[in-house]
Structure 1
Amino acid sequence: MGRSNSDGVSHSLHPFLSSSRVQAQYTYERLVCESLTLLLIANMSSKRKAPPPVNGAVIKKAKTSSSSSSSSSLTDPHPFYKDAEEHGIVLRKYYPHEMSNSRALAYNENKLPRPIEQLQAAQQETAAARRKVQVGDAVVHWFKMDLRTADNTALSMASTKAKEAGVPLIGLFVVSPQDWEAHFTARIRIDFMMRTLEVLRADLAKLDIPLHIETVGRRKYVPVRIASLMEEWGAKHLFTNMEYEVDELRREASIVRLLAERGMAFEVVHDTCVVPPGKLITGAGRQYAVYSPWFRSWVAHIHTNLDLLEEFDAPARNPATARQKFEKLFGSSILEAPLDKRLSAEDGKRYEALWPAGEHEAFKRLGKFCQERINSYGANRNFPAANSTSSLSVHLASGTISARACIRAARDNNSIKKLDGGNQGIQTWISEVAWRDFYKHVLVNWPYVCMNKPFKPEYSNIEWSYEKEHFTAWARGQTGFPIVDAAMRQVQHMGWMHNRCRMIVASFLCKDLLLDWRMGERFFMENLIDGDFASNNGGWGFSASVGVDPQPYFRVFNPLLQSEKFDADGEYIRKWIPELREVKGKAIHDPYGRGAAAIAKKGGYPKAIVEHKGCRERALAAYKKGIAADI
């Protein structure tokens, strides 16, 4: 979901999850979880009474009281912090209260160090010591959300280091149940990761490379456990690809120092983004906060640095002695997810059929898309009934394919080898993939968006409704607005939703129901197979008008008009709402208002729970009041 309607590969709301975030003071994250949905419904009340670091884009300074300039304003929570806790947005088991607007702005004003700067400092301080480290008995690559052998930056570097020294390469994957709980990782996404690990282990085994998978019960012990494994294996070098969420960056900084103290080297490298964060700045030396000029800069930077699209070598085969030396590691099993994160057998079979796992399936999907649909993508991408998108968001979120591979494939299928020319459909798809880079760049420069704060801090002051019946109706696809309900039911069945529909249901939740956008953000993370924190957060910020480069708050999607425009024949609605399949013609968009009430009532389909026009007026008033609030 985002500024333009997109495929499942870009800025859309599909990707919803950050991986493992280290707990740290004033680390507040976007929290979303299946198990907490029921808690949220039960607790709802009616209403509440960058290397190198660059300056952020100018953001409107939120109004604050006279005491906001004091140090206490940076440690005090936001006045509405209890709402976020009562309704499951901030999980106090792991995170502090919602921060004040002043603290959020302190990052933008360079008064607080960004997590990327903390990692850079750790790397700089240990650089000399890391250079002196001699290769040990093995080299280790730590897999996270890069579950592939092809075009994997850190894995390729680790393999090169191991091959040059004539020692084995070991793969490591750490299961952290507390991170899954804290980040409310969807069961379907965990299932996809576990199935992907099976494919990855088999691929690595063909190269005599073991993949050790281990569960660490408490996430604060992950750094120490990794260090212990390194010592146990006699390894001196650990490689991994960088993740850009707050806790991940701080965790990596701590591991850099911990391993350096123990005479080991931890190399954290860029891989997820085609253009690493911090490379693109405005003429004023600031991070871009608007997508269009950022995208032009992104394209120009790649055209000038074509090596950014070069493919990294797959890992080399391990020495013949690897299997004997690390025999036990080759027997590492794929662990089952915790009971509260495990799918039923029936759901597991359905999702396995819908979403085959592993990098081979990712490349198969990419190839089929480029062969059959990419040329017409620009014209057809907005219509949910059409099979017009790539649905690669699932694979990009788990790293079974790189964004580089997607851009290369699009470029190579274009009539000219440019990213901003040639076939219009290909150009459009490239721009959609680029949104993923954009939102990750945003995380790095404005880290407070990982901490339950909107990009525009003053929008924290909006008085949201927490009407539990409305949230329940939205989540279950029972709002009485067919296009909204069809989309929500698609999620229930597939764990995925078309991006146009993501924007429709998000706008409906925030502006028609005036529910806190963070509840919807969390729900998506709880239920989507392609959960990616940056893209999910960016998409919800766009639709709720609280994020970077959003739609204006006074732009409110009319669900009826959206339905008529993007599902004119009602094919999508009829597919997902069986109660309405007998409704003929345009009545499908509004059965109770267009003469199909008897059919809808017979099927048990509900009447609309709200009236759009009145809700729009209420939303505009609430936004105006919140933005102007002196908090």
Structure 2
Amino acid sequence: MPPRKRKSPVSSNTDASSAAKRSNTSSSNTQNGQSNASISTPHPSAQQTEDFGIVLREFYPPEMSNSRCEAYSNGTLERPIDTLNKAYAETEDARKAVKPKNAVVHWFKSDLRLKDNRALTLAYETAKKHDIPLVCLYIQSPQDWTAHLTSPARVDFTLRNLEVLKQKLAQLDIPLYMETQEKRRNVPTRIVELCEQWGASNLFANIEYEVDELRREAKLVKLCSDKGIAFEAVHDSCVVVPGALESQQGKQYAVYTPWYRSWITYLHEHSRNLLIVDEPGKNTGNARSHFKDLFDSPVPDAPQNKRLGNKEKQRFKEMYPEGEDEAIKRLDKFMETKVKDYDKMRSMVSGQTTSILSPYFAAGILSARVSISKAKDANGGYLDGKNAGLATWISEVAWRDFYKHVLVHWPFICMNKCFKPEFTNVEWEYDEELFNRWTEGKTGFPIVDAAMRHLKHEAWMHNRNRMIVSSFLSKDLMIDWRRGERYFMENLIDGDFASNHGGWGFGSSTGVDPQPYFRIFNPLLQSEKFDPNGDFIRKWVPELQEIKDKKSIHDPYGRGAGAAAQKAGYPRPIVNHSESRDRALQRYKEGIASGKP
């Protein structure tokens, strides 16, 4: 057995998968007047977190101080969304003075669809009004894939959807030009170059709310303005724009339930938020004559995509077919067959009880507005109440909005920090062997192992299982939760920074959830409740297939089936849950106490 890495107290602020969308090292230390001196000296165990794969120093700076987090929280420091808004205010007159020239450009990012794409619709309407061609653009940066920890499965999914998108646009005489920029920092200047090359003075794109992206867009607004180009970044991915909902005290909600009530009220009062915008029609201005070569632009390959074998690619293609038509088809089928029982069945992990639309939401193949509008119509015009299944599903889709709202208001979660900086001194474990046992599904806890093996095979995991395995890693094993957060991003086909970070914040009690740290999932009780017959376990843990007793399957070594499990090669539990729970409570309690002034 290899030696285990020594445990050490470490800040829970060097958030690795949060690093998935942080500003890169070359620029983020000076953003908003931030100098190297304003960043706290790395924790003595910072090297350990780097060795353990948590801090990606190739792209991101060390962690910031808790006081700097507080400055973002209270608005003393300018948030990236404010930087973008300021750039718009400063260039307003110049942008209004821009006259359309030879083309209009729409820049695709995480919005790979024609239906209900607000920036694309605005771009098309502008082109049509002035009888000039619409040109679409997609730029891939391998550095972005790496820095954002994008899984090979999601990269493959994105490239497959680009091929479908290209074909659908071509049928409308709209070219989709694609290229690769190796260095992510070069993307804004390259976009300006292409606009000048095509004679385009109007550029449209949908906003992405992570820190890197907001700062990039703010930079691009000014770059474009200096070149006589009007760049319009449009709110699209959220049903309700971040910042629109405030508590009675005028503050951003940090708890889901009151936020959701406010979200519901807002949508009933502002029904236009659920208005579905039209798809673009036929291109105007004889695009095939002026931009013939752009129609031949191939979908670029990516290093991450090459990590998948042909069998894996085929498996993912069958599980998650590409295209927005497929997404709508899945949505409609779910609405017809399963949504009415969703409130009762959504947490059951055996069988397909959920929509499995998350890959399509994450890549922007399907808009949340379309989904919620369909559910609202099916529920007689209600967003809540009436049919419990429909109302519950709407509330689950709303979580995606909530986590993006949190991200915009508390941007430090993209900067080596968790939402609750008071957990700075929790003492974590950095045990490679135990972490690998978790990733391989060999912990001796059947529900945990089944969930992790499922993830490895299908690049997706049921939300109930995400909660179970994240609690197990961060509390039963006391392994730094950020390593698990990173592992999810590197393996999930639906990896979305805000939602993934929010989920791991829930599992580790370092996030926005109001429940205190002493909420620790018991994997045995979770298994019995949500896989009562053990069908999910038997499917993904073949060593336990011969255990027919529905009680023993959840704990073979503790319920009389140990001999059969051992003979089949299934491991004994790597920890004692009761003892691990006591250890976690003590570690969290001590960590919080030591972090208080």
Same fold (TM over 0.5): yes
Superimposed CA distance per residue, residues 67-100 of structure 1 (whole angstroms, 9 cap, x where no aligned partner): xxx9956544455433332222121111111222
Sort the Cα spacing of 1:102 and 1:442 in 2 relative to 1 into closer, same or farther, 3 A: same
Q: In the alignment, which residue of structure 2 is the partner of 1:370?
A: 335
1:472 and 2:436 matched: yes
Cα distance, 1:24 vs. partner? 5.9
Sort the Cα spacing of 1:560 and 1:468 in 2 relative to 1 into closer, same or farther, 3 A: same
Cα distance, 1:584 vs. partner? 1.6
Taking the aligned partners of 2:103 and 2:503, their CA distance within structure 1 comes to 42
1:249 and 2:214 matched: yes
Q: In the alignment, which residue of structure 2 is the partner of 1:119?
A: 84
Q: In the alignment, which residue of structure 2 is the partner of 1:351?
A: 316
Of 540, 548, 567, the residue aligned with 2:504 is 540
Q: In the alignment, which residue of structure 1 is the partner of 2:9?
A: none
Contact map agreement 2:331 2:355 (CA 8 A) in 1: yes
1:306 and 2:271 matched: yes
1:23 and 2:21 matched: no
Q: State the one-letter code of the partner of 2:162.
A: L
Taking the aligned partners of 1:71 and 1:176, their CA distance within structure 2 comes to 27
Q: In the alignment, which residue of structure 2 is the partner of 1:508?
A: 472
SS in 1 for 2:150: coil
1:412 and 2:413 matched: no
Taking the aligned partners of 1:73 and 1:493, their CA distance within structure 2 comes to 44
Taking the aligned partners of 1:519 and 1:342, their CA distance within structure 2 comes to 21
SS in 1 for 2:91: helix
1:380 and 2:345 matched: yes
1:561 and 2:535 matched: no
Taking the aligned partners of 1:441 and 1:341, their CA distance within structure 2 comes to 34
SS in 2 for 1:443: helix
Taking the aligned partners of 2:148 and 2:459, their CA distance within structure 1 comes to 17
Taking the aligned partners of 2:20 and 2:199, their CA distance within structure 1 comes to 27
Of 535, 544, 563, the residue aligned with 1:571 is 535
Q: Which stretches of structure 1, 4 residues or longer, exceed 4 Å deviation after superposition? A: 16-22, 24-28, 70-75
Equivalent residue runs for 1:144-223 within 5 Å: 144-223=109-188
Contact map agreement 2:426 2:587 (CA 8 A) in 1: yes
Q: In the alignment, which residue of structure 2 is the partner of 1:598?
A: 563
Q: In the alignment, which residue of structure 1 is the partner of 2:70?
A: 105
Cα distance, 1:110 vs. partner? 2.0
Taking the aligned partners of 2:18 and 2:163, their CA distance within structure 1 comes to 21
Identity %: 56
**Comparing 104-113 and 471-480, the one that deviates more:** 104-113
Contact map agreement 1:291 1:438 (CA 8 A) in 2: yes
Of 265, 282, 289, the residue aligned with 2:254 is 289
Sort the Cα spacing of 1:550 and 1:85 in 2 relative to 1 into closer, same or farther, 3 A: farther
SS in 2 for 1:461: coil
Q: In the alignment, which residue of structure 2 is the partner of 1:275?
A: 240
Contact map agreement 2:476 2:581 (CA 8 A) in 1: yes
Q: CA RMSD in A?
A: 1.8
Taking the aligned partners of 1:320 and 1:501, their CA distance within structure 2 comes to 52
Contact map agreement 1:90 1:98 (CA 8 A) in 2: no
Q: In the alignment, which residue of structure 1 is the partner of 2:586?
A: 621
Cα distance, 1:340 vs. partner? 6.9
Contact map agreement 1:492 1:527 (CA 8 A) in 2: yes
Taking the aligned partners of 2:47 and 2:305, their CA distance within structure 1 comes to 26
SS in 1 for 2:423: helix
Taking the aligned partners of 1:75 and 1:543, their CA distance within structure 2 comes to 27
Sort the Cα spacing of 1:26 and 1:613 in 2 relative to 1 into closer, same or farther, 3 A: farther
Contact map agreement 2:522 2:577 (CA 8 A) in 1: yes
Cα distance, 1:418 vs. partner? 1.3
Q: In the alignment, which residue of structure 2 is the partner of 1:336?
A: 301
Sort the Cα spacing of 1:78 and 1:262 in 2 relative to 1 into closer, same or farther, 3 A: farther
Q: In the alignment, which residue of structure 1 is the partner of 2:457?
A: 493
Superimposed CA distance per residue, residues 245-272 of structure 1 (whole angstroms, 9 cap, x where no aligned partner): 0100000000000010111011001000
Contact map agreement 2:422 2:595 (CA 8 A) in 1: no
1:265 and 2:265 matched: no
Q: State the one-letter code of the partner of 2:521.
A: F
Q: In the alignment, which residue of structure 1 is the partner of 2:98?
A: 133
Q: State the one-letter code of the partner of 2:67.
A: S
Taking the aligned partners of 1:524 and 1:597, their CA distance within structure 2 comes to 31
Q: State the one-letter code of the partner of 1:482.
A: P
SS in 2 for 1:222: helix
Of 316, 319, 326, the residue aligned with 1:361 is 326
1:403 and 2:368 matched: yes
Superimposed CA distance per residue, residues 279-304 of structure 1 (whole angstroms, 9 cap, x where no aligned partner): 00011110001111110110000000
Q: In the alignment, which residue of structure 2 is the partner of 1:85?
A: 50
Taking the aligned partners of 1:422 and 1:590, their CA distance within structure 2 comes to 40
Sort the Cα spacing of 1:487 and 1:614 in 2 relative to 1 into closer, same or farther, 3 A: same
Cα distance, 1:526 vs. partner? 0.3
1:449 and 2:413 matched: yes
**Comparing 185-194 and 77-86, the one that deviates more:** 77-86
**Comparing 316-325 and 201-210, the one that deviates more:** 316-325
Superimposed CA distance per residue, residues 493-539 of structure 1 (whole angstroms, 9 cap, x where no aligned partner): 10001110000000000000000110110000000000000000001
Taking the aligned partners of 1:312 and 1:264, their CA distance within structure 2 comes to 25
Q: State the one-letter code of the partner of 1:131.
A: K
Contact map agreement 2:104 2:126 (CA 8 A) in 1: yes
Cα distance, 1:21 vs. partner? 5.9
Contact map agreement 2:20 2:414 (CA 8 A) in 1: no
Contact map agreement 2:132 2:285 (CA 8 A) in 1: no
Higher relative CO (Cα under 8 Å, sequence separation at least 6) belongs to 1
**Comparing 203-212 and 84-93, the one that deviates more:** 84-93
Q: In the alignment, which residue of structure 2 is the partner of 1:316?
A: 281
Sort the Cα spacing of 1:158 and 1:17 in 2 relative to 1 into closer, same or farther, 3 A: farther
Cα distance, 1:452 vs. partner? 2.4
SS in 2 for 1:629: helix
Contact map agreement 1:26 1:99 (CA 8 A) in 2: no
Superimposed CA distance per residue, residues 182-220 of structure 1 (whole angstroms, 9 cap, x where no aligned partner): 111100000000000011011101100000111001011
SS in 1 for 2:424: helix
If the length of structure 2 is used for normalisation, what is the TM-score?
A: 0.94
Sort the Cα spacing of 1:510 and 1:609 in 2 relative to 1 into closer, same or farther, 3 A: same
Q: In the alignment, which residue of structure 1 is the partner of 2:7?
A: none
Equivalent residue runs for 1:1-12 within 5 Å: none
SS in 2 for 1:621: helix
SS in 1 for 2:177: strand
Superimposed CA distance per residue, residues 443-469 of structure 1 (whole angstroms, 9 cap, x where no aligned partner): 000001112211110112211001111
Contact map agreement 1:18 1:245 (CA 8 A) in 2: no
Sort the Cα spacing of 1:237 and 1:342 in 2 relative to 1 into closer, same or farther, 3 A: farther
Cα distance, 1:342 vs. partner? 3.4
Q: In the alignment, which residue of structure 2 is the partner of 1:424?
A: 388
Of 468, 473, 493, the residue aligned with 1:529 is 493
Cα distance, 1:26 vs. partner? 8.0
Equivalent residue runs for 1:229-248 within 5 Å: 229-248=194-213
Superimposed CA distance per residue, residues 353-409 of structure 1 (whole angstroms, 9 cap, x where no aligned partner): 111011011000000000000100000001010321001101000000100001001
Identify unmatched segments of 5+ residues in structure 1. Answer: 1-15, 29-69
Cα distance, 1:176 vs. partner? 0.5
Taking the aligned partners of 1:164 and 1:190, their CA distance within structure 2 comes to 36
Q: In the alignment, which residue of structure 1 is the partner of 2:516?
A: 552
Contact map agreement 1:27 1:246 (CA 8 A) in 2: no
Contact map agreement 2:426 2:591 (CA 8 A) in 1: yes
Sort the Cα spacing of 1:17 and 1:333 in 2 relative to 1 into closer, same or farther, 3 A: farther
Q: State the one-letter code of the partner of 1:537.
A: H
Contact map agreement 1:136 1:236 (CA 8 A) in 2: yes
SS in 2 for 1:239: strand
Q: State the one-letter code of the partner of 1:82.
A: Q
